[in-house]
Structure 1
Amino acid sequence: MAGLVVWLLRTARSKMAIADFVKPRDIKDRILFQHVAGADDGKEALKDIVDYLRDPSRFEAVGAKPRNGVLLVGDPGNGKTLLAKAVAGEAGVPFMACSGSQFQEMFAGVGAARVRSMFKKLRKAAPAILFIDEIDSLGKKRSSSSSSVENDSANTLNELLTQLDGLTSGSGIVIIGATNRVEVLDPALIRAGRFDMHVIVPSPDQKARTEILKVASRDVELADDVDFATIARGTSGFSGADLAILVNEAAILAGKRSAHQVTMADFDQARDNKILGGTRGTLMIDPAELETIIVHESGHALANVLLPACDPIHKGTVTPRGRSLGHIATMPLKDRVLVTRTKFLSELVMLLAGRAAEEIFFGADMVTSGATSDSDLATTTAFDMVARYGMGSSMASRVGSSRPLSEETKRRVDEEVEEIIRASYERAKELLLANKPALDRLCARFREEDTLDGDEIRRIVAESSPAVSAAA
């Protein structure tokens, strides 16, 4: 038995090599900053690292000490790994990548031994870059637990800290870590002198998304009607990885049609598939239920056009997709950092207009369960307005506060949320009743075509509603 344990230990230690260094000989094989779109702030922050690796003597001549540890912080899919590779490519130094989980083993002491082995390799290959992805699995806060697993994890982290401290000013070694959970890292890992340089890699904004789409589409045959700026407007919240997948899905759709170019319609369908899911062509819908869906979506569409604070409507459909039986897609003119109370209230009215249209056409007793998701989102939005953003009768933010909430405060929050939703629903009904001819025409058009684009919906409303016609 003892011999088996020794053999297992030797086998584990013989496999301690995490990864090998990669150094492309030809510059055309390197990943450079020009290949990383949408992370301009991150690239600017990392230029100092590139300059140091290229010519350390410039910094050492004035007594400057290099940054040995850099932490890339951001949500998954935003290009942290690609950015680290680009630093190595720009500097022309070897690059080694590993994951923090690769240091976790069932045998005590193996994790620390792997750290030592890795840094031994680093010193031989210097100048070089080591990239540790998901570093939170290696550098998580140490606990007071005395379990063997916790003790070994702490020993592995201790060894990493020791090796970091052992890097001299002229070592030419840079450690780049990546995480989307910086709050769980041990304070000793991110203190000054270790991973003290934090570079935020955020989700791309509209301009960045446009650039990412261009880079991701370099090898794709595009039709003349493809407009990356428009696609970027409709992909708010997409990460860089999401956008790359979107381009590939659009190309797959074009391939299924045996087309030689990817069109704007392919991108539009790929976006809908990602957000809503594929069409449910096999779903059998009763004619009466289909009429309810048409009325419901027409209510949403009309309210959207009549409320200037809402994002412009892109298209509406009564075709079931994913979990939805119909959908109104909007296209923001730009990304927003701040949202006003007016916009929140307008969005609430639009959300509740589908249910309001059902009540207008079929009566209060015939309102269906199709508005469930609308009601859930409306309740969440109204609650955030009152309890998170201070947009109720009290300006105090109650969610996330360390102060315990009294039962009276909770009751007042519930009452304010209920009042906001009730007032928004009444406003939705008044808006639809005042523009009933436009609502009737939208319903009639949806009976003819299951999908209408935003321009046609706006034209129908403008022709049927005097208020909209006058404004136009």
Structure 2
Amino acid sequence: MRFPSLVFRVALAFGFCYLITWLINSSQGKMNDKYKFEIKTASDISQRLDDVKGIDEIKEEIENLIKMVQNPDKYRDKGANLHRGVLLFGEPGVGKTLLARAIAGESKCSFIYCTGSSFDEMFVGMGAKRVRELFTEARKHSPCIIFIDEIDSLLSKGRRQSSNEGSSSRATINQFLAEMDGFEKSENILIIGATNHEGILDTAATRPGRFDKKIHVPHPDVAGREEIFKLYLDKISKSGDINAKSLAMMTPGFTGAEIENLVNTAITQAVHREKAMADFNDFEYARDRIMMGIERKSLSMSDKDRLHTAIHEAGHALVCYYTPFAPSLYKATIVSRGPSLGATYMVPNESDAVSQTKQKMIAKIDVGMGGHIAEKLIIGGENISSGCQGDLSGITDIATQAVRHFGMFGQDASFISKDHKETSETHNAKVDETVKNILDESFDRVKTLLESKEKELRELAKQLYLHDYLNAEEMDRIISGKSFDKEVNPEVRQWEEEEYLIKF
């Protein structure tokens, strides 16, 4: 009786093992069938370098790269080593993917698109296998450009350091680097990686012979933004008063993707309003929507809270107006957008994208302090709202950066530029004391300014309360005492009392 039972148990064990193996292979096979690399032949790629706008600063670099891809033998014959990997890095939306496609289109190469996360798998060995399949496909379509978006998710320092010696992640990384080193010949294959976080890449990947050519794709300047606007404006119906140059001047710091989104939002809004074409109001709406967020129209606020908010925002706006080196005023509102009850928006100067001076950082601190001081002067210290928390936190961060990282107050707190975890308690205390002094001096400076401009502060807060929105031109007329004639909101807020903080 025991013998058949033993045979049955052995058979059952083998059957169970076979079932598990079948299930794993089946799931792996399904994943392989499901996943396909995006492969385009040279004739399928329509993008060209002329389609990529706002890259004048790096255009020569890109053109030289295209020459190497188009005619590799010319360089090899002279003894030059071709780049195996090129790293495009920059902020999201600047056009790294479009640029890679344009390089392939100009070079008349095939193009394979994938992302760094394409090689993450739960089964050991699948990531490395996918890497081999990628290079196999590239060799079939040679000459070929492999474009790996978000390559930091594949080749980051943290990924290698957190992996065990025999882990799947480390095997995937090692297989990728081995392919780049050319253990399997991969001539006429160029790998282009794109990342928003160039600093976290593994140094093993960025050493010579791998991703040794790095190209920073910057934000477009005003001329670049004008070119991008022209590209997208030609695709929509627009009124005659819309021109690319004016829009480019209105959007410092915008990326190509944000400009495309702005134009699309404007024409979409025009269609919503049953218009035949987009006009300036639609583009202004689109810019506000991108810069300021969605209006929280359903948020219930009392008239008293609205006036408190108007006083707070008027303080920011007035300090910005009178402070040298502050950003340009754009718009102030007491309509809640995002997490804030109101906001004062400023447009940075073109040079701010390059560097910040000590004067500009102090100006930012003063503008951030303006709302708090305005509430203190008009509402009174006992009634200051919690809305100042975000401002005070922000200006504390600015002051800390100026002291701890930029050495702008080195005479008071030394010129050490290190994180607080890497410095002594004595040094950290000195930094904190210097930051406190900066904020105290800002408080005194802004208080003196607003006390001397209390009439303008009250009038600006009143008009902001009555109209919900004020643009830069309207605020200039109010502050400078010029005539101000603007249609009042149909839902004008009236006070039961004859006077509340500001006399109407």
Q: TM-score range by the shorter chain?
A: 0.7 to 0.9
Asked if the contact 1:136/1:185 (under 8 Å) is kept, the reply is yes
Cα distance between partner residues in 2 of 1:73 and 1:84: 12
Cα distance between partner residues in 1 of 2:58 and 2:110: 21
1:443 equivalent in structure 2: 461
Cα distance between partner residues in 2 of 1:184 and 1:303: 39
Q: Which amino acid aligns with 1:405?
A: T
Q: Which amino acid aligns with 1:129?
A: I
Return the match for 2:267 from 251, 260, 265.
Answer: 251
Return the match for 2:427 from 387, 409, 416.
Answer: 409
1:381 equivalent in structure 2: 398
Cα distance between partner residues in 2 of 1:168 and 1:47: 28
Cα distance between partner residues in 1 of 2:360 and 2:155: 42
Within 5 A, what are the aligned runs for 1:179-194?
A: 179-194=195-210
Q: Which amino acid aligns with 1:3?
A: Y
1:469 equivalent in structure 2: none
Asked if the contact 1:276/1:323 (under 8 Å) is kept, the reply is no
Return the match for 1:344 from 361, 369, 377.
Answer: 361
1:454 equivalent in structure 2: 472
Q: CA deviation at 1:257?
A: 0.9
Q: Give the alignment's TM-score, normalised by structure 2.
A: 0.83
Question: Is residue 57 of structure 1 aligned with residue 63 of structure 2?
Answer: no
Asked if the contact 2:42/2:104 (under 8 Å) is kept, the reply is no
The structure-2 alpha-carbon separation of the partners of 1:316 and 1:7, relative to structure 1 and needing over 3 Å to count, comes to closer
* Unaligned stretches of 5+ residues in structure 1: 465-472
The structure-2 alpha-carbon separation of the partners of 1:425 and 1:145, relative to structure 1 and needing over 3 Å to count, comes to closer
The structure-2 alpha-carbon separation of the partners of 1:24 and 1:54, relative to structure 1 and needing over 3 Å to count, comes to closer
Cα distance between partner residues in 1 of 2:324 and 2:153: 47
Q: Secondary structure of the equivalent of 1:97?
A: strand
Q: CA deviation at 1:262?
A: 2.0
Return the match for 1:102 from 118, 127, 144.
Answer: 118
Q: Which moved more, 1:265-274 or 1:11-20?
A: 11-20
Q: Secondary structure of the equivalent of 1:394?
A: helix
1:126 equivalent in structure 2: 142
Asked if the contact 2:456/2:479 (under 8 Å) is kept, the reply is yes
Cα distance between partner residues in 2 of 1:280 and 1:144: 43
Return the match for 1:277 from 293, 302, 316.
Answer: 293
Q: CA deviation at 1:314?
A: 1.9
Q: CA deviation at 1:90?
A: 0.6
Asked if the contact 2:420/2:428 (under 8 Å) is kept, the reply is no
Cα distance between partner residues in 2 of 1:139 and 1:97: 17
The structure-2 alpha-carbon separation of the partners of 1:378 and 1:191, relative to structure 1 and needing over 3 Å to count, comes to closer
Within 5 A, what are the aligned runs for 1:31-110?
A: 31-110=47-126
Within 5 A, what are the aligned runs for 1:110-121?
A: 110-121=126-137
The structure-2 alpha-carbon separation of the partners of 1:112 and 1:300, relative to structure 1 and needing over 3 Å to count, comes to closer
Cα distance between partner residues in 2 of 1:402 and 1:451: 41
The structure-2 alpha-carbon separation of the partners of 1:54 and 1:351, relative to structure 1 and needing over 3 Å to count, comes to same
Asked if the contact 2:266/2:283 (under 8 Å) is kept, the reply is yes
Cα distance between partner residues in 1 of 2:456 and 2:265: 36
The structure-2 alpha-carbon separation of the partners of 1:64 and 1:170, relative to structure 1 and needing over 3 Å to count, comes to farther
Q: CA deviation at 1:86?
A: 0.6
Q: Which amino acid aligns with 1:362?
A: I
Q: CA deviation at 1:343?
A: 2.2
Within 5 A, what are the aligned runs for 1:88-237?
A: 88-141=104-157, 142-143=160-161, 146=164, 148=166, 150=167, 152-166=168-182, 171-237=187-253
The structure-2 alpha-carbon separation of the partners of 1:227 and 1:315, relative to structure 1 and needing over 3 Å to count, comes to farther
1:353 equivalent in structure 2: 370
The structure-2 alpha-carbon separation of the partners of 1:292 and 1:159, relative to structure 1 and needing over 3 Å to count, comes to closer
Cα distance between partner residues in 1 of 2:188 and 2:154: 23
2:381 equivalent in structure 1: 364
Cα distance between partner residues in 2 of 1:306 and 1:136: 44
1:424 equivalent in structure 2: 442
* Unaligned stretches of 5+ residues in structure 2: 1-15, 483-504
Aligned-pair RMSD on alpha carbons?
A: 2.8
Cα distance between partner residues in 1 of 2:125 and 2:348: 54
Q: CA deviation at 1:88?
A: 0.6
Query: What's the % identity of the aligned pairs?
Result: 34
Q: CA deviation at 1:216?
A: 3.4
Number of residue pairs matched by the alignment: 460
Q: Give the alignment's TM-score, normalised by structure 1.
A: 0.88
